[in-house]
Structure formats: C-alpha cells, structure tokens
Amino acid sequence: MKPIRIGTRKSPLALWQAHLVEKKLNEFQIPTEIVPISSEGDLNLKQPIYQLGITGVFTRSLDIALLNHQIDIAVHSLKDVPTLLPEGIKLSGFMKRGNPHDILVYKSDDIFQKEKRTIATGSLRRTSFWLQKYPQDSVVDLRGNVQLRIQKLVESNWDGAIFAYAGLDRSEILNELVAKNLKFKILDWMIPAPSQGIVGITSRSGFEMPEISDENSKISANIERQFLNVLEGGCTAPIGAYAEIQDEKIIFKGAILSLDGQKTISVDEVFPTSNFENKGKELAEKCLEKGAKELIQQIKKQIQN
C-alpha cells in the first residue's frame, strides 16, 4: 500500500495537527508520509490577514500541492479553510474538537482594573468582540505562529493578547506561560470563530479518504461553516459561530459585529441534532433579516479604505 502523503504548513502547531491525523491513520495500519509546505499566510507577517486580498491565505499553497498531486490530503485548522473550496478539492475529515474558546494571555492582574488597555490580535472577530466589551481600549495587530506571538507579547508594552485556547494547548505553550511570567483567562463570552478547535482534512475530489472523522465535530462544522458561508464571512468580517452538541440537542450562538464592536446582530437557538442539515443557512438568514447584509457592506467599505 502506498503511503498517504499528508500536506501541512511548517509551523509547530500545523505539524502537531498533521501528526494527529497521521496517528489516527496509523491506528488503521495505513502508512503515511508528512510533507511540509510553506504558505503565503506564514511568509507575509507584516500585513493584517484581511489586507492580503487572498481568500484562504493559509490554505492556498496546500490546495495547489493537492491539485498538482504532490500530496494526497492536507491538514488545516478548519477555521482557516474557506467555505467555498477550489474546484477539485473537498473536505474529507474532521478530527475531534479541542477547546473552541478564545483565551486572553496577559502580564499582570491589574489589567482588569485599568481604565484603558492595549490588546494584541490579528483577528477582526476578536477585535470586534473585545471592543464591544471594552470600547475604550486600543487593539494592535499581531501575526505569526503562536510561539512568535507569545514572544512579541513578552517583549512589548501590550497588556495582553488573544489566542485560540486549542492552539496554545496543542503547542504545549499553556504550561510554559508561568515561566514567562504570563497568566491566562478563557474568554467564554467571546463567540469562537466557526470551526475553531477542529482539525480539518481536505483532499482531491477523487481521493478515497479513510473514515476517521469525529461525528460531533462534523455536525458542528457543517452548521458553523454554513452560517459563515451565507453571511459571506471568511477572514473579512467579524463573525462568530458555535454549535455545541449536548446529548441529542445543539446549542447554537452566532453573531456578526461592526469593526468597532458597537453594533451586533446575533442569533441564539437550541434544536435537535436530527435537524442540523440546513440549520446554519436558516440561522444566517435570520441575521440577514435583522440587517446583517447592510452591516457586511459597511464592513467591506471600511476594510477597502
């Protein structure tokens, strides 16, 4: 049997994710080979992601490698994968979800007593949610892999920076924060990015992917990505969506915010797992009825300026 060639970005977190998929495939006695590939999102760390003008800035290089038959599958943080995939590429795997929440890493407990803070993040969604709660604060751009972003925080005069909990946990950085005199707090009031915490697998359309998916992750990702797709999100709008599965029901929270966080259109709903197929679309349409389309147009104009 020929080994399945697993394409991945070169960052430590991306390699961790690739090894997770490799381990799962190896459990089924399927041979594998990991193929690291540089991505445009990793090479350009100077511009905010939304200014790069590329949909799928972290996935395009791996898409090209798939279509050129350099690799058989590609492993991603699913939140980085566009909801519209290139022709000839499909989503073919969903690993068990890690903690989906965002996390604030900060230097001193007095951060919560300050009248004004400086917080770092490269995410429009995190920026908008933070400014919704703390409108007086300043938010600065932060790019790079998680290790580099932590180092930038340590060396800066910023009060804190926002990360995905799963990214820090999987990179084994959470345990190292104390040694760097850093603390952390889970931001459970911030709606996660669609599919945050899920490792996703893409492949060429004709490739037969072994069935290694986690069913709950697959259902949650389907709803959240559908919600994002209808709202035309991607990296260019502050959109959060989280479908939490508890027993036979799904608890959904979704929102789109203005860039300054002062306008929010949200939807909250509980429904049975048996009724998930078109639920993301239906929930997004409720946001559109509340004025999300006009808000998205406003956001696009502000970004272009």
Task: Tell me the pLDDT tens digit for each residue of 25-76.
Answer: 999 999 999 999 976 544 443 444 344 344 466 788 899 899 999 999 999 9
Tally of CB atoms within 10 A around 260: 14
Q: 261: alpha, beta or left, given left = phi > 0 and alpha = psi -120 to 50?
A: left
Residue 174 sits in the same domain as residue 207: no
- 80 counts as catalytic: yes
Q: Which of 44, 47, 46 is nearest to 60 (CA)?
A: 44
Residue 204 sits in the same domain as residue 77: yes
- Residue 40: the pLDDT is 54
pLDDT tens digits along 75-85:
999 998 989 88
Residue 232 sits in the same domain as residue 143: no
Residue 17 sits in the same domain as residue 45: yes
CATH number at residue 2: 3.40.190.10
What's the rounded Cα separation, in Å, for the pair 73 and 59?
A: 12
* Structural domain count, the chain: 3
Answer whether residue 69 is part of any domain: yes
Q: Does position 218 have pLDDT exceeding 50, yes or no?
A: yes
- Residue 142: the pLDDT is 94
Residue 79 sits in the same domain as residue 106: no
**Model's pTM, two decimal places?**
0.91
- Residue 284: the pLDDT is 97
Q: Which of 187, 136, 179, 188 is nearest to 161 (CA)?
A: 187
Residues 6 or more apart in contact with residue 199 via CB below 8 angstroms:
17, 20, 21, 75, 76, 77, 78, 94, 95
- Residue 1: the pLDDT is 80
Q: Catalytic: which of 42, 63, 72, 80?
A: 80
Answer whether residue 192 is part of any domain: no
Answer whether residue 129 is part of any domain: yes
Q: Of the given ranges (86-95, 114-123, 162-171, 227-236), which has the lowest mean pLDDT? A: 227-236
3-state secondary structure of 171: coil
Answer whether residue 252 is part of any domain: yes
Residue 2 sits in the same domain as residue 89: yes
3-state secondary structure of 90: strand
Residue 123 sits in the same domain as residue 259: no
Residue 52 sits in the same domain as residue 176: no
Residue 79 sits in the same domain as residue 206: yes
Residue 204 sits in the same domain as residue 64: yes
Answer whether residue 193 is part of any domain: no
Answer whether residue 86 is part of any domain: yes
Contact assessment for residue 116 and residue 130, using Cβ atoms and an 8 Å cutoff: no
For 219, the domain range is 214-305
Q: Does position 238 have pLDDT exceeding 60, yes or no?
A: yes
Residue 66 sits in the same domain as residue 177: no
Residue 203 sits in the same domain as residue 55: yes
CA 194 to chain CA centroid, Å, is 6
**Token code pair at residue 101:** 């929440």
